[in-house]
Amino acid sequence: MKIYKNPIRFIAVFISISLATACSDFLDEEDESNFTTDTYFTKAEHAESAVNGIYQPLIPITESGFGGGTWLMLEFATGLANTSLGQATNIYLVKDLINNSDNGYGSSYWTEYYRGISRANLAIEKIPDINMDETEKQKYLGEAKFFRAYYYFGLVRMFGNIPLITSSVDLGSEQLFAEQVSPNAIYDLIISDLTEAENSGLPWRDDSGRVSLGAVKTLLADVYLTTAGFPLQQTANYALAAAKAKEVIDSNEYTLFDTYDDLHNPATKNTGEYIFMTQFAAGIQSGNWQPAILPYNLGISAYSAQTGGIFSTNEFAESYEVGDKRAEEKQFYFRSYSLEADRNDSINLGAPYIFKHFDVAANEESAQSDLNWSLYRYADVLLMYAEAANEAESGPSADAYEAVNLIRQRAEIADLEGLTQESFRNAVRIERVHELSFENKTWYDMARWRKAYNPETNLLEDFVGHTFSYLPNKALTERELLFPIPTGEMQNNPNLEQNPGY
């Protein structure tokens, strides 16, 4: 068997195989092995199965075990996370500012996101020719374009200059060894895809977890806000970000949960505050990050693997305002828990572990989590709007105050009022850090702000020169504004140039 080391080359072959096997329920022909991408796309079921496959690369990002997990990369890059998982080399490469291109987390992001892009390209290319209901066709194309934008948005922020691939790839394609392009070119495609997805007939929300119009507009608001900051600094996009976030707010389709318990209650997934999530189901595809957020082998869980992969630094968990409900025990964090052997007995965990992702039923009973992983929730939109409107309007408006104060009122802390543009900017940014902690948001914010949060002073400092509380003698440099392109990609694609400093 030939082994394809180049992920793009592998994806081209994988798609042909997976479409001929995983979707075989929809096929009438007797010899399923004869199907190719040229002959498969013939009816509506094929369009659906092709689009369903674009969701799948979201799942491996959250997988966790004694090797850590891909999603941890973006958290340890903030300096606000700690670990007791000694054998997870990839964690320490990022956490201790000694990262290199051999980091398996970066390789996983690259491979899975380009896998998703490859599947989206194929769907966008083939679905238009299928004889099917036109309304459904446009919705599937909208989903595919949303995902192509979503995956590229992650890659361009993590890796900078990356290959732009917009068509299906086989072993003879010119794009097999694609050259890198500037972030501007990537964002042009992202915005074009999302604008088209807005007009594809998707519903404002979809409680089944499929892509919705709310998800499309939320992602587009995030893209505009990001491009208004570093490195592009297209400041006119602040107004576009505010307008797009306001559309989501004014839709009245989303609302903050009354209690933080709903953030980790399987019964609330795809409802209320949640706009878009990675879908999991206990016993089928169980939520797979629980082992990473459990203290190392302290016996509090029904899970056999309790890895101590990630928890908050003490400095960060203690940086919330006095009286902030999010900092109370078993709200966003927890420092003690009952023992699996005797739920009437409890143990001090020795650190603030992450409760906002903690599935109580799975940990106390089944070891099969039914939680979804949140990619976008309404609190994020409110904070996007407050930040963008403040920049676009040269100061905070009544609507901007209302948006951020809804977050603060749930946390039971005082409303913001009477602030200058600069003081409001800093307050909203710190609110983002506290509200969206450990949701893979903070490092992206740091990169676009060129600012890092100091939990000991409760201030934002220049990114370059910032030191982590546990690493006082080593400062962030410009190199940490991007992650290294994985070694395997550099070796297999001669057209790639490594990011500076790696």
Same domain (yes/no): 239, 219: yes
- Domain presence at residue 458: no
CATH of the domain at 245: 1.25.40.900
Same domain (yes/no): 296, 324: yes
Same domain (yes/no): 247, 365: no
In this predicted model, what pLDDT tens digit does every residue of 471-495 receive, in sequence order? Answer: 999 999 999 999 999 999 999 999 9
Residue 138 pLDDT more than 60?
Answer: yes
Residue 37 pLDDT more than 90?
Answer: no
262: containing domain: 203-279+375-438
Same domain (yes/no): 284, 353: yes
Residue 385 pLDDT more than 60?
Answer: yes
- Domain presence at residue 51: no
In this prediction, residues 459-468 reach a mean pLDDT of: 98
Which of 438, 465, 481 delimits the end of a domain?
A: 438
432 CB neighbour count, 10 Å cutoff: 23
In this predicted structure, what is the pLDDT of residue 27?
31
Same domain (yes/no): 422, 398: yes
Block residue for tokens 């890659």: 155
- 187: its two tokens: 């964002």
- Domain presence at residue 478: no
In this prediction, residues 261-279 reach a mean pLDDT of: 98
Same domain (yes/no): 364, 292: yes
Angle between helices 442-449 and 134-159 (to 10 degrees): 60
In this prediction, residues 330-340 reach a mean pLDDT of: 98
pLDDT band at 416 (very low <50, low <70, confident <90, very high): very high
Same domain (yes/no): 222, 346: no
Same domain (yes/no): 313, 381: no
ω before 231 within 30° of 0 (cis)? Answer: yes
Same domain (yes/no): 355, 213: no
Dihedral in degrees, nearest 10, Cα atoms 453, 454, 460, 464: -80
305 CB neighbour count, 10 Å cutoff: 15
In this predicted structure, what is the pLDDT of residue 35?
59
Note whether 210 and 142 are within 8 A (CB).
Answer: no
- Domain presence at residue 120: no
Angle between helices 398-410 and 421-435 (to 10 degrees): 30
Which of 371, 389, 420 delimits the end of a domain?
A: 371
Residue 7 pLDDT more than 60?
Answer: no
* pTM exceeds 0.85, yes or no: yes
Residue 314 pLDDT more than 80?
Answer: yes
Percent pLDDT > 90 in the chain is: 90
321 CB neighbour count, 10 Å cutoff: 15
pLDDT band at 25 (very low <50, low <70, confident <90, very high): very low
In this prediction, residues 271-291 reach a mean pLDDT of: 96
In this prediction, residues 206-212 reach a mean pLDDT of: 97
Number of domains in the chain: 2
Note whether 175 and 493 are within 8 A (CB).
Answer: no
Residue 283, C-beta contacts closer than 8 angstroms, at least 6 positions apart: 368
- Domain presence at residue 130: no
- Domain presence at residue 307: yes
In this predicted structure, what is the pLDDT of residue 39?
77
Same domain (yes/no): 229, 288: no
- 138: its two tokens: 């446009």
In this predicted structure, what is the pLDDT of residue 169?
81
User: Residue by residue, what is the 3-state secondary structure of 294-344?
Assistant: CCCCCCCCCCCCCCCCCEECHHHHCCCCCCCHHHCECCCEEEEEEECCEEE
- Domain presence at residue 228: yes
Q: Phi/psi class of residue 350: alpha, beta or left (left: φ > 0; alpha: ψ in -120 to 50)?
A: left
In this predicted structure, what is the pLDDT of residue 175?
73
In this predicted model, what pLDDT tens digit does every residue of 351-379 receive, in sequence order? Answer: 999 999 999 999 999 999 999 999 999 99
Same domain (yes/no): 222, 274: yes
In this prediction, residues 237-264 reach a mean pLDDT of: 98
Residue 250 pLDDT more than 80?
Answer: yes
Dihedral in degrees, nearest 10, Cα atoms 257, 260, 265, 267: -20
Same domain (yes/no): 265, 384: yes
In this prediction, residues 239-263 reach a mean pLDDT of: 98
Which of 327, 351, 371 delimits the end of a domain?
A: 371
- Domain presence at residue 326: yes
In this predicted model, what pLDDT tens digit does every residue of 64-114 receive, in sequence order? Answer: 999 999 999 999 999 999 999 998 999 999 999 999 999 999 999 999 999
What are the φ and ψ backbone dihedral angles of 82, each rounded to 5 degrees?
-135, 170
